[in-house]
Amino acid sequence: MNEIKVLDREFSEYITEDEIQSRITALAEKLNEDLKGHDVLFFGILNGAFLFAADLFRQITFNAQISFIKLASYEGTGSSGKIRELIGWNEDMTGKTVVVIEDIIDTGNTMERIIGELTLRKARDVKICTLLFKPEAYTRDIPIDYIGFEIPNNFVVGYGLDYDGY
């Protein structure tokens, strides 16, 4: 099993690159099937989702747009409970189907904030696509439409997910 040290913590490989790429292909196929013919705007949540968003978007076969926002809620290995907007909303999403691309959903606090923003901006429909989901930590009632992997409530890094920026 592959091991990596990031700052003062050691991590073991949990999901292989092949498993990740295979699951992304399956998610893209489902999105292509479900959203063909819709006016779609993908929103990647930086920094963590940038690799996932790129790999997913390359496999989208219908005309769509992609943009990014940057929100921060983590300090070290835990959620701070506060969500800071670092790069804002610059796209007109009125009447569009918006697909939020997230690296990981744990408590759902950030997703709740995002859904509120998209509602204010008059998105026609909102779909959520996450690479990783921690059902044990999830405290919201927001449905998650596309899930790559359900994982235990452990801190994970890699494939864009960081530890204190590393």
Catalytic residues: 106
Give the C-alpha separation, 72 to 165, whole Å.
11
Q: DSSP string of 55-67?
A: HHHTT--S-EEEE
Beta bridge partners of 101: 44, 129
Burial 81-114 (b: 16+ CB within 10 A, else e): eeeeeeeeeeeebeebbbbbbbbbbbbbbbbeeb
Closest CA relative to residue 2, chosen from 164, 155, 157, 163: 157
Give the C-alpha separation, 125 to 11, whole Å.
38
**Single-letter amino acid code for the residue at 145:** D
Q: What length does the chain have?
A: 166
